[in-house]
Amino acid sequence: MAQLPILHYPDPRLETVAQPILSVDDEVRRLAADMAETMYEAPGIGLAATQVDVHRQLIVIDVSESRDQLLTFINPKIVAASEEIASYEEGCLSVPGIFDEVERPARVTVEALGLDGKPFTLEADGLLAVCIQHEMDHLRGVVFVEHLSRLKRTRILAKLRKQQRAM
Ligand code: K2U
Ligand code: ZN
């Protein structure tokens, strides 16, 4: 397995819309394993293929305290979302050091393929629901800061540019 480099906002490659995976083969399974290793090392609770500059519909998530409950979603689709909205302070491995409140549906139902190529359906709430929606945003080319106000985004960009100059 290998750790993969993570793209940092505002890299335009993060705006790429991911393509569906047509065949769940060993290459896809190797990519998922590398993404999981990258996520655990970061550390993070989710990672989308877009963030490692692979524009295919694949996300890995582990919201467990024990860090041993890995979920892999291939070609995920949200097929139902609650009217109830929940607010959660989100971060992103592609936007280091930035955290802010984002409002999203509190519960979602997701249909996807597993690493065995078989379809499954998952009902999620809490942090798992937030993470699934956050990662699926990445597959649409959307970073969580796009949900914030223009003023906040401007301030975040200035902070990130200052961070990058200091490196
Ligand atoms: O996309 C990413 O970079 C993964 C995020 C996942 C996330 C989803 C929803 C809410 C917050 C984060 C990273 O894991 S950010 C780092 C992190 C780690 C643990 C808890 C919260 C944030
Ligand atoms: Zn993210």
Residue 133's pLDDT is what?
A: 98
User: What strand order describes the sheet that includes 108-113?
Assistant: 46-48, 58-61, 71-81, 108-113, 119-124
Residue 165's pLDDT is what?
A: 84
CATH of 12-166, one of 3.90.45.10, 3.40.228.10, 3.30.830.10, 3.40.50.300: 3.90.45.10
Q: Enumerate the active-site residues.
A: 135
Which among 19, 71, 92 has a CA at the least distance from the CA of 49? 19
List CB contacts of 54: < 8 A, sequence separation 6 or more. 31
Q: Please indicate whether residue 90, judged by its CB atom, sits closer than 6 Å to ligand 1.
A: yes
Residues 73 and 50: their CA atoms lie apart, in Å, by 13
Residue 123's pLDDT is what?
A: 98
Whether the link from the prior residue into 76 is cis, omega within 30° of 0, is no
Residues 100 and 145: their CA atoms lie apart, in Å, by 8
The ligand with the least distance to the CA atom of 48 is: 1
**What is the mean pLDDT, run by run of 10 residues, along the chain of 167 residues?**
94 98 98 98 98 98 97 98 98 96 98 98 98 98 97 95 85
| 118 Cα: distance to centroid of ligand 2 (angstroms) | 26
Degrees, nearest 5: CA angle 112-113-116: 160
Residue 1's pLDDT is what?
A: 79
All residues with CB under 5 Å from ion ligand 2: 92
| In the chain, domain spans | 12-166
The ligand with the least distance to the CA atom of 96 is: 1
| 94 Cα: distance to centroid of ligand 2 (angstroms) | 6
